[in-house]
Copies of this chain bind each other. A is one copy, B any other.
């Protein structure tokens, strides 16, 4: 870089204001504002003069000021549990595409599956007066719920439908997913079924799948034979390790349900490495329907969830200022070759 003088100059924001543009264009401030937002009426000639001045001065509108002066902001706040689990980037991807198209701006923070942290982050988010706050699921602290209700801003709860929404909910039923997974395995004739999962206290949606999975097995008179729950987040390595441990305790399983595809892939690799034939010796079933599950030699049997669509729909509802509602996007059972 260069000398300190230049650095100093550099630090002073070259803050061109709307007033300066107005002056340069020889028009009033409100005229510039109208032209820039293409709102209200103005002549073509004026428009050209303004745009020329904008161009010449390199004016960049200040949305902070604009938001303060007008009413609602065009920020949408996401408080997500994790960025490691691809589920949430997928949701963000869907949402951000729609938001960008509508000149909304996505803001996010990561609560790390911790309701207390979620509350703190939601509070910090509300300070930006977003148009909406988007959260994962229904399990929030009392404080979070109260704060969100009082804020008057829209709230969207994502990826879960088993509970009461604060405002809008977009997703699918995790209980139904657990149920259908169990029904599928039973239909296929599996009876000695085990489970490998990650920390369910934190990932409550995985917990819901697990409990309704078990209920379905119970109702069939063939309860879960064994389960192995690992602390920490879901990962391929934990899935591998979990299955290894499970099989050490329960030797005669014919199928294993995993908390999600990452975990299931770990199980699949364990079988590959140990020469356990899939599905004849052991069937494997996951959850999420990740692309990678279709690229392994035997496509993974799993449930595909509409993650990107969840983000898209959520964003669309906010952009359209839709009334409170719960949108069920469903899911798709993929038969695959592992169960």
Contact = CB atoms under 8 A, between A and B. Distances in A.
Interface of A: 1, 10-15, 58, 60-65, 67-68, 73, 75, 83-84, 86, 88-90, 92-93, 96-97, 100, 103, 105-110, 121, 123-129, 147, 150-153, 235-237, 239-240, 262, 265-266, 269, 272-273, 291-292, 294-297, 323-324
A96 B68 contact: no
Contacts of A239: 295
Contacts of A92: 83, 108
Given A89-B84, A240-B295, A13 B152 contact: yes
Contacts of A64: 64, 67-68, 73, 128-129
A107 B88 CA distance: 15
Contacts of A273: 297
Contacts of A10: 152
22 contacts: A14-B150, A15-B152, A60-B123, A60-B126, A63-B128, A64-B128, A83-B89, A84-B90, A96-B108, A96-B110, A100-B109, A105-B125, A106-B108, A107-B107, A108-B108, A236-B291, A236-B292, A237-B294, A240-B295, A266-B295, A269-B295, A269-B297
Contacts of A129: 13, 62-64
Contacts of A297: 269, 272-273
Contacts of A84: 89-90, 93
B106 A105 contact: no
Given A63-B128, A235-B291, A295-B266, A106 B103 contact: no
| 9 A-B pairs with the lowest CB-CB distances in the bound complex, closest first | A13-B152, A236-B295, A273-B297, A83-B93, A63-B127, A83-B89, A89-B89, A236-B292, A237-B295
B110 A100 contact: yes
A124 B103 contact: yes
Nearest to A91: B83
A317 to B, nearest CB: 15
A60 B84 CA distance: 30
A297 to B, nearest CB: 4
A1 B150 CA distance: 15
A331 to B, nearest CB: 20
A306 to B, nearest CB: 15
A240 B83 CA distance: 26
Contact of A62 (B121, B127, B294): B127
Contacts of A296: 269, 272
Contacts of A262: 292
A91 to B, nearest CB: 9
Contacts of A265: 292, 295
B61 A127 contact: yes
Given A105-B128, A107-B106, A237 B291 contact: yes
B58 A150 contact: yes
Nearest to A167: B1
